[in-house]
Amino acid sequence: MNVTAVIPARGGSKGIPGKNVAEVGGVPLVARAVRACLGAAHVTRVVVSTDDEAIAAAARAAGAEVVERPTALGSDEASSESALLHALDRLEEGPARPVDVLVFVQCTSPFLTAEEVDACVLAVVRDGADSSFTAAPFHGFLWSTTPDAGPGHHAHGVNHDSASRPRRQDRTPEYLETGSVYAMRADGFRTHGHRFFGRVQLVPTAPERAIEIDEPGDLVRARALAPLLDAPPCGPAPAARQNPAAPSPPRPSQYLGKEL
Residues labelled catalytic = 165
| Interatomic CA distance for residues 31 and 14, integer angstroms | 20
DSSP letter (8 states) at residue 17: T
| Interatomic CA distance for residues 104 and 7, integer angstroms | 6
| Interatomic CA distance for residues 118 and 181, integer angstroms | 10
| Interatomic CA distance for residues 260 and 257, integer angstroms | 9
Q: Which residues pair with 135 in a beta bridge?
A: 177, 204
> Degrees (nearest 5) of the Cα angle 225, 227, 233?
125
Residue pair 80/66 in contact by the 8 Å Cβ criterion: no
